[in-house]
């Protein structure tokens, strides 16, 4: 009986220690989430407007202008830029992104994958480790971006992707990431990066009449890379905020589960202790009765 009581006490101490860790991690994630949420909230409208503007310009241009980054060609080689986190303990966040990456390949690029023509650039260590282990063609050049998250480090990855597309190393590039909604909700998306998608024209709609100053070639040459840099940076900021939100939620649930487990263990401990006391009293009474007899 004493051994059983000691075992339950040890389990209670273990759960309490774990609960202290989960509560601390929740507080840290909450603090990081506030900063990450501010960053993506401020960036998103700006990035969305630039992206829409770029798609509109590409759609409105007719003949005479060659846009290398908007060139649509037969898709033989594909690049997926997969944004995950560096650390775990964030619920199903990383697993869902990895699942989407695999599903995207299976549903859209299976033929290219069978030929060995699907490459993955990872931003975040968890995705790199999981996809490498699963046998995908991964690249570790940009997996440590979250160690020094700033526009310049993301810009280097975006520029490398643009250069690879222009050199025809890839015919299509997509970004797979988690779009931040709130602390408890993320939307996992596969977003086209290159070639620059055109806006589908509605029936009867008129072409948008842009006046370009300076010349359209000069403007687009300057505009396109900057907007694409911003698009990838926005995706990484979304992923960063989603990670902290997912971890905060996961640690909150873990703390609640620890509370429930502690209640159950304390009930078990009290019952075992009560049984031990009852047994001791019974032995004392029996001994006293034997002495009197």
DSSP string, 26-45: HHHHHHHHHHHHHHHHHHHH
- Which residues form the catalytic set? 90
- Could you tell me where the beta strands, DSSP code E, fall in 154-230? 172-182, 185-194
* pLDDT surpassing 60 at residue 291: yes
> Strands across the sheet with 78-83, in order?
137-139, 118-123, 78-83, 172-182, 185-194
Q: Give the pLDDT score at 192.
A: 93
How far, rounded to the nearest angstrom, does the alpha carbon of residue 81 sit from its chain's CA centroid? 12
Q: pLDDT-based confidence at 175, cuts 50/70/90?
A: very high
Q: Give the pLDDT score at 1.
A: 58
Asked if residue 239 belongs to a domain, the reply is: yes
- pLDDT tens column, 219-228: 777 888 899 9
Q: pLDDT-based confidence at 286, cuts 50/70/90?
A: confident
Cis peptide before 195 (omega within 30 of 0): yes
Q: Give the pLDDT score at 200.
A: 58
Write down the mean pLDDT value for the chain: 87
Contact 176, 100 (CB under 8 A): yes
For the chain, percent helix, then strand, then coil, each to nearest 5? Answer: 65, 10, 25
Mean pLDDT confidence for 180-188: 90
| Residues forming a β-bridge with 83 | 123
Contact 175, 232 (CB under 8 A): yes
3-state SS, residue 287: helix
Mean pLDDT confidence for 126-140: 95
- pLDDT tens column, 206-219: 555 666 666 666 77
Nearest residue to 47 via CA among 175, 171, 166: 175
Asked if residue 273 belongs to a domain, the reply is: no
Domain with 33 in it: 21-251
pTM attached to this predicted model: 0.84
Asked if residue 289 belongs to a domain, the reply is: no
Instruction: Report the CATH number that the domain containing residue 221 is assigned in CATH.
Output: 3.40.1380.10
Asked if residue 279 belongs to a domain, the reply is: no
Q: Which residues have a Cβ under 8 Å from the Cβ of 237 and sit 6 or more positions away?
A: 36, 39, 40, 43
Q: Give the pLDDT score at 32.
A: 92
* pLDDT surpassing 90 at residue 159: yes
First to last CA, the chain: 29
Q: Give the pLDDT score at 201.
A: 54
Asked if residue 7 belongs to a domain, the reply is: no
- pLDDT tens column, 11-36: 899 999 999 999 999 999 999 999 99
Asked if residue 280 belongs to a domain, the reply is: no
Mean pLDDT confidence for 98-113: 96
Of 148 and 293, the structure prediction assigns the larger pLDDT to: 148
Domain count along the chain: 1
Angle between helices 2-60 and 216-292 (to 10 degrees): 170
Of 96 and 215, the structure prediction assigns the larger pLDDT to: 96
Q: Tell me the CB-side half-sphere exposure of residue 127, using CA atoms within 13 A.
A: 35
Asked if residue 5 belongs to a domain, the reply is: no
* pLDDT surpassing 60 at residue 204: no
| Distance, CA of 250 to CA of 138 (rounded, Å) | 28
3-state SS, residue 286: helix
159 by Cβ neighbours in 10 Å (0-12 / 13-18 / 19+) ranks as middle
* pLDDT surpassing 80 at residue 73: yes
* pLDDT surpassing 60 at residue 147: yes
Q: pLDDT-based confidence at 2, cuts 50/70/90?
A: low
Asked if residue 16 belongs to a domain, the reply is: no
Of 216 and 156, the structure prediction assigns the larger pLDDT to: 156
């Amino acid at each position: 009986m004493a051994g059983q009581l000691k075992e339950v006490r040890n389990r209670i101490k273990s759960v309490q220690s774990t609960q202290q860790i989960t509560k601390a991690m929740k507080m840290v994630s909450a603090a990081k989430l506030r900063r990450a949420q501010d960053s993506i909230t401020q960036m998103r409208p700006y990035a969305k407007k630039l992206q829409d503007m770029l798609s509109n310009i590409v759609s409105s241009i007719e003949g005479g202008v060659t846009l290398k980054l908007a060139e649509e060609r037969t898709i033989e080689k594909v690049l997926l830029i997969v944004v995950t986190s560096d650390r775990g303990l964030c619920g199903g966040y990383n697993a869902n992104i990895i699942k989407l990456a695999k599903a995207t390949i299976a549903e859209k690029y299976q033929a290219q994958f069978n030929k060995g023509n699907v490459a993955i650039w990872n931003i975040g260590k968890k995705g790199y480790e999981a996809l490498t282990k699963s046998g995908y063609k991964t690249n570790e050049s940009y997996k440590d971006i979250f160690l020094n998250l700033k526009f310049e480090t993301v810009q280097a990855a975006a520029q490398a992707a643009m250069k690879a597309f222009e050199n025809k190393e890839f015919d299509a590039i997509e970004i797979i990431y988690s779009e931040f909604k709130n602390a408890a909700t993320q939307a996992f998306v596969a977003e086209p990066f290159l070639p620059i998608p055109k806006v589908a024209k509605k029936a009867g709609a008129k072409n948008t009449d842009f006046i370009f100053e300076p010349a359209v070639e000069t403007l687009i040459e300057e505009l396109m890379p900057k907007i694409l840099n911003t698009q990838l940076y926005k995706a990484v900021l979304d992923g960063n905020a989603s990670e902290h939100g997912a971890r905060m939620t996961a640690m909150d649930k873990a703390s609640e589960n620890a509370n429930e487990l502690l209640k159950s263990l304390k009930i078990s401990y009290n019952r075992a202790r009560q049984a031990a006391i009852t047994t001791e009293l019974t032995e004392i009474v029996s001994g006293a009765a034997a002495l009197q007899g």
